[in-house]
Amino acid sequence: MVLSRVSNAWLVLLFVGIAVASVFGGNASKNVSSASLSLGELGDKLQTCKVVQQLNDEKLASSAETSTVTSKIFAALFPGSPAVNALLATLYISGPPNFLLALCPPNIDPASLSVMVAFAVGGLLGDTLFHLLPEIFVGEASPEHVSFVLVEPNRNLLLGVAIMVGFMTFVAMDKGLRIATGGEGHDHGHGGHSHEQLDQAKATSTAMEASGKASGKEAKNRKKGKNGTKSAELERKGEREISPSVKLGGYLNLIADFTHNITDGLAMSASFYASPTIGATTTVAVFFHEIPHEVGDFALLIQSGFSKRVAMGAQFVTALGALLGTLIGIAVQEFGGGSADSNSISMTGGIWGTSLTYGDLLLPFTAGTFLYVGTVAVIPELLETGPNKAQEFRKMVVQFAAIAVGAGIMLYISWD
């Protein structure tokens, strides 16, 4: 009897131990499986929650059934895959602005583009603040269901680092250009170098022209055909002479423009791989920025001694940088992991134990470059004032209105 009771007690303890082990083991396996889930899988599990399903029903009931005019236009302009749409966007931002150069007079003053520059500032900052940064840190909402954000501090830190790297890349490029040109930098607003360099080019040509005219008058007074012919040749030669620093500035501007266009191409690929809406709005912002940028660069090349045809050809070559940047961005997204891949890896299976892939860093990098172009590279030009206070005040009002219109367009496009 005693032995049977002892054996029964051991059996009871054994079953209790097995039950406890199974409970703890099941919880551990659940914890392990939850940690190994990707963000996309976690989102799918959340969609099975009754509260989330009610929110989905309310969202579908309140959503508009008809498409807006802008969405129809974007669907017609960008009908393909992210890679195809990025290439189409590169064609849109590079082609028309370069063709417009054929209509520009050779003596156009970049300072006359201040209103267009202000409009471009509003578009760039609006796209960065209304579209890119929210997409980077929060993501884009789905039209079919509600979305939730899982806060990852280390992920957010790496995204911030990528934004800073993009910003500082343009700081380094601009600083290096200023060192190479002796103080003049690459201006993304008016598309050229500083006004001092432009004034230097104008002063040089004006001085040469005045010298030629004086020689011509002197020759006419002497009434010697030979001297008159010689003076005319000197006049034509003098008008062609441009100081070496201005010529160097023109060539360095082409290099800087080519590099800048590469970042535009990276922006096209990164934004379309993020979402079609982000890609479309980024295309609009870059397009409005490229018009004054290309025209200003064209004016600088003319003042640097380029003929109109050669300047247009040089601008076309620099536009190929956007295509190169787009192809690089597509390659990074396809082979380095894009936003689609980040939804399929575990929360700790990406860069430095986060859910990030290398493709996810392209969009914050381009956002950093946009912040630099829209602030440091352009706003100092808008802050320049002249002696006429009333005229400068009216000019300021027009510029602020242009900034508001540019930002308002970006807000209208993204408003749901």
Query: If pLDDT is split at 50, 70 and 90, which confidence band does 88 have?
Result: very high
In the predicted structure, residue 192 carries a pLDDT above the cut 60: no
Most confidently modeled range among 43-57, 188-202, 254-268: 254-268
pLDDT score, position 83: 92
In the predicted structure, residue 20 carries a pLDDT above the cut 50: no
pLDDT score, position 13: 43
Most confidently modeled range among 199-203, 281-285, 302-306: 281-285
Most confidently modeled range among 170-184, 199-213, 314-328, 369-383: 314-328
pLDDT score, position 30: 46
Q: Give, as one character, the DSSP assignment of residue 148.
A: -
pLDDT score, position 143: 61
Instruction: Report the percentage of the chain scoring pLDDT > 70.
Output: 66
Q: Residue for token digits 């005045």?
A: 210
pLDDT in tens, 331-382: 988 886 655 555 566 666 677 777 787 878 888 998 898 888 888 877 887 8
Q: Which of 50-54, 85-89, 231-235, 289-293 has the lowest mean pLDDT?
A: 231-235
Query: If pLDDT is split at 50, 70 and 90, which confidence band does 241 have?
Result: low
Is this structure's pTM higher than 0.85? no
Instruction: Report the percentage of the chain scoring pLDDT > 90.
Output: 11
Most confidently modeled range among 19-33, 164-178, 339-353: 164-178
pLDDT score, position 75: 87
pLDDT score, position 25: 47
pLDDT score, position 86: 93
Binning the chain into helix, strand and coil, the percentages to the nearest 5 are 80, 0, 20
In the predicted structure, residue 9 carries a pLDDT above the cut 80: no
Dist. CA 380–CA 386, nearest whole Å: 14
pLDDT score, position 345: 67
Contacts of 23 (CB under 8 A, 6+ apart): none
> Mean of the per-residue pLDDT values for the chain?
74
In the predicted structure, residue 147 carries a pLDDT above the cut 90: no
Side chain identity at residue 333, one-letter code: Q
Q: How far is CA 245 from the centre of its chain?
A: 30
How many CA atoms lie within 13 Å of 416's alpha carbon, on the beta-carbon side? 12
Q: Give, as one character, the DSSP assignment of residue 144.
A: S
